[in-house]
Every structure is written in structure tokens, then in C-alpha cells.
Amino acid sequence: MQKVFLIRHGKVENPSNINYGTLDGFPLSAEGKNQIYNLAKSLNEMDSIFCKIIASPLQRTQETAVILSQNLNTKIIIDDRLKEWDMGDWAGRPLTEFQEKSGYYDQEMNTNGMESLEDLSKRVIATIQDAIRSCDENIIICSHREPMASALIKLQKLPWISIHKVDMPMASVWQLDFIDEEFISATKIF
């Protein structure tokens, strides 16, 4: 069995509480760095071998990947397919405005011209599949909530509205199990 660990970046420095989406320049906060150091320690205690860390190109995920890499002695590969959900015009605006007006949290989930969850899940799943084919050991994927949650929803064949129920706080880890490149199960482990 091959395992893929989906790791969401740690807490971000965002004093203005804006929807940073695909905007770069949002580093991990001190708390976020501590979250990832503690997570790396927990992963080390699992005594697993990781062939690589594949990370989004955005600063917060790069910082997360570096901390993991240094503590797990694993190389980092950047993959643009793991970048955050394209929020369109919502990026850079107040997060409360997105929550109240975007339609994302409605039953119908009208995403108002943003990248579709289907397209989002396809690019993340393609990254996972390419990674599995490239090595036989465990893999870490370091990305953002919506990209990884959309992949979880698609892999488990759940309705898209379920994305709001995916328990994926910052610095959390989901383990995906594969046998012969076929998805078997998903479990939140941290």
C-alpha cells in the first residue's frame, strides 16, 4: 500500500483578514511555523519513509514544505497544479465579504466565475497520480484547503456540497491509501 499525505500549510500572517487566495506574500505566522514543526515531529514518530514533498508555489506552502523537508530529510518539488483555488475577483478582498456574498456556502454553490471545484479537483488528483507513478514510497502533498478538499470529495465520490464538511484546519493531515495506483481510502490523521 502506498500512502499520500495531504498537508495543509500552517497558520498564515493575515492581520487584515483578507481573502488571500492565489496572492503570494502571505507567510506563515510564528504560530503556523510552530504548528508545522510539531507536525513534522509527529510524522517522524510514524517512522515512514517519504520519497518527496510536492508543494504549491505559494509562500505559505513553500515555508511549510521547507520545515517538513528539513525535519524529514525529504526533497521538495514545486508543482503549480497544487496552487490555491483561483478565486477570481474575490482575491484580495475582505474574507467576510467573500463569506457573505460569493455564494460559495449556498446549497447551490454558485461560485460566480471562480475556478470550478471539478477543475480544481482534476488538477490536484492529476498531481497525486503522477506522484504515485514516480516512486514507490510515501509522498507528501503540501497545498491549500480547497484544492485538497476538492480532491478528497472527488476521490470519495461525494456531492460537492460536502466540501464544507471536510475537516481540514491549517496544519492538518489526511492520509490517502492507494494500491496499484487505485484509491482505497482517506483518513484524517492529524
Q: Is 23 helix (H, G, I), strand (E, B) or coil?
A: coil
Q: Cβ(144)–Cβ(84) under 8 Å?
A: yes
* Residue 172: per-residue pLDDT: 98
Q: CB-based burial of residue 159 (10 Å sphere; 0-12 exposed, 13-18 middle, 19+ buried)? A: exposed
Give the DSSP letter string of 137-189.
SEEEEEE-HHHHHHHHHHHTT--GGGGGG----TT-EEEEEEETTEEEEEEE-
* Residue 47: per-residue pLDDT: 83
Cα–Cα distances in Å, from 8 out to 5, 65, 101, 141? Answer: 10, 10, 25, 8
Per the listing, cell 492538518 goes with 172
* Residue 89: per-residue pLDDT: 87
Cα–Cα distances in Å, from 30 out to 13, 14, 64? Answer: 8, 12, 12
Domain range 2-85+115-188, CATH class: alpha beta
For 116-166, write each residue's pLDDT tens digit: 899 999 999 999 999 999 999 999 999 999 999 999 999 999 999 899 999
Show me where the domains of the chain are located.
Answer: 2-85+115-188
Residue ranges for the chain with pLDDT beneath 70: 107-112
Q: Of 110, 63, 56, which is closest to residue 85 (Cα–Cα)? A: 56
User: What percentage of the chain has pLDDT greater than the value 90?
Assistant: 84
Strands 50-55 and 173-179: unpaired
* Residue 4: per-residue pLDDT: 98
> What distance in Å separates the CA atoms of residue 64 and residue 51, rounded to the nearest whole number?
17
